[in-house]
Amino acid sequence: MDSLEGGLRRRASTTSCSTCYAWASFLIWTVIIFLLIFGIVFFAFIRSNLPDIKVHRLDVYKLNVTKPENKNNDARLTIDVRIMVNVTNNNKKMALVYEKFDVETKVEGFSLPKIRLNGFRQNAMRGNDLKIHPRETRLMVNEDEVKDLKLNADHHEMVLNLKMNGKIQFWFKGHMISNLHIKVLCEDVEQSQIDQAVAHECNIKLGFLR
């Protein structure tokens, strides 16, 4: 009799543990699925509220080529450009706060000095123009590169590539709801199109790390 009661207690205990494990697994998977759905919805919400960023001006202030005294040496290029980028917050209720941007610029494949832009706050339905003006730089170029560069500059057909790394905060009714790193890519920007008032739209990538 004692043996029978002991067996019943063991089976009841095993059944109870199995039920607990099943409920625990169910709750864990429910939480995981909920977090996954919440993450997808939240990420989609953030994506839909990103600013519009466009390059709308490329001015060449200086483009001089100094021929080398020695034919075995490369020519020296002096270049000074200014780029205007428009950042627009199209959201009707949310403010955006941008931290400092690290900017890398290439014109016709030539890397210009890196610069840093100051951060700023942008209220709903507002736009700002950012002036990107790398300091004058001197580069060594060969004769073929000089010919192509001068020809493209004379015809306003220079090509710009711009990359900005920074951080963006999303504020709603005085509360920050997100703080993410962004990478802005403005690739193959054609000066000829910008001169015709056709702004070049940039791509924005989100991430928790740069």
Dump pLDDT digits (tens) for 145-158: 777 888 888 888 99
Characterize the bridge pairing of strands 101-107 and 110-111: antiparallel
The model's pLDDT over 114-164, given as tens digits with 9 standing for 90+, comes to 999 999 999 999 999 999 998 878 877 777 777 788 888 888 899 999 999
CA 142 to chain centre: 33
Q: What distance in Å separates the CA atoms of residue 90 and residue 109, rounded to the nearest whole number? A: 33
Q: What percent of the chain has pLDDT over 70?
A: 90
Tokens of 164: 């900005």
Looking at residue 165, its pLDDT comes to: 96
Contact (Cβ atoms closer than 8 angstroms) between residue 162 and residue 83: yes
Q: What's the predicted TM-score (pTM) here?
A: 0.78
89: pLDDT confidence band, cut at 50, 70 and 90? very high
Report CA dihedral (83, 89, 90, 91) to the nearest 10 degrees.
Answer: 170
pLDDT digit string, tens, across residues 73-88: 777 888 899 999 999 9
pLDDT of 62 > 80? The answer is: yes
Q: What is the mean pLDDT of the chain?
A: 85
pLDDT band, residue 15 (cuts 50/70/90) = low
